[in-house]
Structure 1
Amino acid sequence: MDGVIYHGNRVLPGVAEFIQWLHDENKEYLFLTNNSGYTPRELSQKLARMGLDVTEEHFYTSALATAAFLRDQAPGCSVFAIGEAGLLNALYDAGITMNDVNPDYVVVGEGRSYSLDTLTKATNLVWKGAKLIGANSDVSGPIENGIVPACRALVAPIEMATGTQAYFCGKPNPLMMRTGLRMLHCHSAEAVMVGDRMDTDVISGMESG
C-alpha cells in the first residue's frame, strides 16, 4: 500500500478518486499488502485519517497469509515471533501459541521489536531445529525520507548464520493471491492487479493468470 495508495502519511494523487470510483461502480476490491505490522483495522483507521473510507474487510496482509499457512500446515503449532501487532494478532487468532523455548517455527515480520537479542534468540532456535518463516520477501520498503529494511533483509542474517532457507508467505507467493481471489469470489481472468513492485506485485499478478 505504501507507494501505491500513500507515501508515509500522504495520500498519493488520484487515489481518493479511484476509491470513490470503486464504490460508485460497486466493484469488489482488496488491498493485498506485504506489510505485516498492521492489522486490517489499523490499516482502515490509517486510511480514515487520510480521508479515505475503506472498511477492514478490504485488507489482506502478509501476516494473515502467514498465520493461515501455519494453521493449515501445523494446527496448534507454536512459534517464536518477531513482529508487530498485525503479525502477533494474526497468529493468536489462528490458534498459534508463542514459545521461546522449543517452538515449531520462528516467524519474522517487520517491526521495532527486531534487535540483536531477538535476532540471536531466533538464530539459535532455528539452529536447534525450528523452521524459519518470513512474512514476506520484501527487501526494503519506502518511507518519507528514504527506505527502511523490510522482512527479507531482517530474515537474511538468520539464514546466513544457520544455513537455513526461509519460506516466505506474502507476495509473490501464489497462496496469498489465491486467497485474495477467493475473498473477491472471482477468477484471475476477472481481476486486475495494481502495484508498484516488479518483484512482488507484478510477478504475483502475472503468475496468477
Structure 2
Amino acid sequence: MNTSTKAGFLIDLDGTMYAGHRSIPHAAAFIDTLREKGHPLLFVTNNSSRTPEAVADHLAYHGITAFAQDIVTSSQAAARYVAERGRGRRVYAIGEEGLRAALLEAGMELVDDRPDYVVQGIDREFSYRKLEQAVGYIAAGAEYVLTNPDRLLPADGKLVPGAGAIAASIREALKQTPTVIGKPFEPIMRYALERLPCDGEVWAVGDNPETDIGAGKAAGLKTALVLTGVATPDNVDRLLMETRVRPDLVCTDLAELLDRLGIAGSR
C-alpha cells in the first residue's frame, strides 16, 4: 500500500458532510481540495444501518466524491472485531442491512441459536422477542458487542432512538456492559487508521465534541471541531465545558479549517 507524508483525515459524516438530506456548505469543496492536494482521507461513521455503497451514494447525492472503499462504518469495525476474536464465527445480529452485510463479508455466520456473539446496532424492527433472545444468549456466554452507543439520532427534523437506546434495555436486563466499537471509543478509529494510507499526522474532523473529538483524542489524533452540526457557534462553549473535550482546532466551517491548516481552498 502506498503511503503519504501529507496529513491524513478521518472525517465524520452527519453534521460534518451533510445533515440528512441537507447539504452542508463547503463540504464538497473541502473533500475536492484534500484530494487535489494529495491528502489521504476516509469517512468514518457510527451509522450501522447502511452499507458503504449506500453511504457513498448518499455522499454523491450531496455532490461529494466518494467510493465504498472510502467509507468506514461501525458495522465494518464491529465485524472486524468479532472476526479477529477467535471465539467462533456464529453471530446473532440485531441490526439492519449494513450490519448483516459487514458480518457476512467478514466471514461470520448469522444464526438464531447458540451464537458465539450477539452483535447489536440500530434495528428499527427491534422487538421483545429479539430482546429476549439477546439476553438469553448473552447470559449463556455469548459476547455482547455494540456497534455504537448513540442514544438519539436526528431524522427529518426530530430525534429518534438509536443503537444505544436498544442497548440500554439489554444492558439493564443483564447489568452487563457491551464491548463498544463506535465513536467515542477507540476501536473504530484503530480500524480506520489501519485502512488509511498515511504515515504522517492524522486529523479527526467532526461536529460532535463527545463522539467525533472524543474518539480522535482516544486514538491519539489531532482533532478539529466544525460548528456545522451538533456543535454550533451558539452552543460550542457550553458543549466543550460539559464534555471536557479540548479540540486542537475549533472552526466555524470546513473552509475555515482548510485555511487554518494552510491547505489552499476557496470559500
Contact 1:32 1:180 in 2 (8 A): yes
Q: Partner residue of 2:114? A: 102
- SS of 1:193's partner is strand
1:37-76 correspondence to structure 2 within 5 Å:
37-74=49-86, 76=88
CA distance in 1, matches of 2:154, 2:204: 20
Match for 1:198 among 190, 198, 209?
Answer: 209
Q: By how many angstroms is 1:18 displaced?
A: 0.9
Are the equivalent residues in 2 in contact too, given 1:82–1:108 (CA < 8 A)? yes
Structure whose residues are more often helix by fraction: 1
Unaligned runs of 5+ in 2: 1-12, 221-267
What does the per-residue CA deviation read over 1:148-191, in whole Å, with 9 as the maximum and x for residues that have no partner?
2111111110111122211111123322212222222335x611
Aligned residues: 208
Question: Any idea what SS the aligned residue of 1:30 has?
Answer: strand
Quote the offset at 1:76 in angstroms.
4.3
| Greater Cα offset, 119-128 or 100-109 | 119-128
- Distance across 1 between alignment mates of 2:204 and 2:99: 24
Q: CA deviation at 1:198?
A: 2.1
Is the 1:3–1:142 Cα contact (8 Å) retained in structure 2? no
Q: C-alpha separation between the residues in 1 aligned to 2:39 and 2:87?
A: 35
How many Å separate the matches in 1 of 2:62 and 2:214? 29
Match of 1:145 among 157, 171, 177: 157
CA distance in 2, matches of 1:65, 1:56: 14
SS, match of residue 194 in structure 1: strand
TM-score (normalizing by structure 2) = 0.73
Greater Cα shift, 169-178 or 150-159: 169-178
Instruction: Determine the structure 2 residue equivalent to 1:173.
Output: 185
Q: Helix, strand or coil: the match of 1:180?
A: helix
Number of the residue aligned with 1:121: 133
Percentage of identical aligned residues = 36
| Between 157-166 and 109-118, the greater mean CA deviation after superposition | 109-118
Structure 2 distance, partners of 1:146, 1:14, is: 24
Higher relative contact order (CA 8 A, sep 6+): 2
- Are the aligned partners of 1:138 and 1:153 in contact in 2 as well (CA < 8 Å)? yes
The amino acid that maps onto 2:219 is S
Gaps (5+ residues) in structure 1? none
Q: Could you tell me which amino acid in structure 2 is paired with residue 194 of structure 1?
A: V
**Kept in 2: contact 1:76–1:97 (CA 8 A):** no
Distance 2:167 2:32 in 1: 38
SS of the residue corresponding to residue 100 of structure 1 reads: coil
CA distance in 2, matches of 1:173, 1:49: 29
**Cα RMSD between the aligned structures?**
1.6
> Which structure is larger by alpha-carbon Rg, 1 or 2?
2
- 2:144 is paired with a residue of what secondary structure? strand
1:20-48 Cα deviation digits (max 9, x unpaired): 21222122111110111111111111112
Question: SS of the residue aligned with 2:40?
Answer: coil
Taking the aligned partners of 1:158 and 1:75, their CA distance within structure 2 comes to: 21
TM-score of the superposed pair, with normalisation by structure 1:
0.92
Provide the C-alpha distance between the structure 2 equivalents of 1:27 and 1:129, rounded to a whole number of angstroms. 44
SS in 2 for 1:141: strand
Distance 1:90 1:49 in 2: 23
Counterpart position of 1:162: 174
TM superposition shift of 1:66: 0.3
Instruction: Confirm or deny that 1:20 pairs with 2:32.
Output: yes
Answer with 115-124 or 10-19: which moved more.
115-124
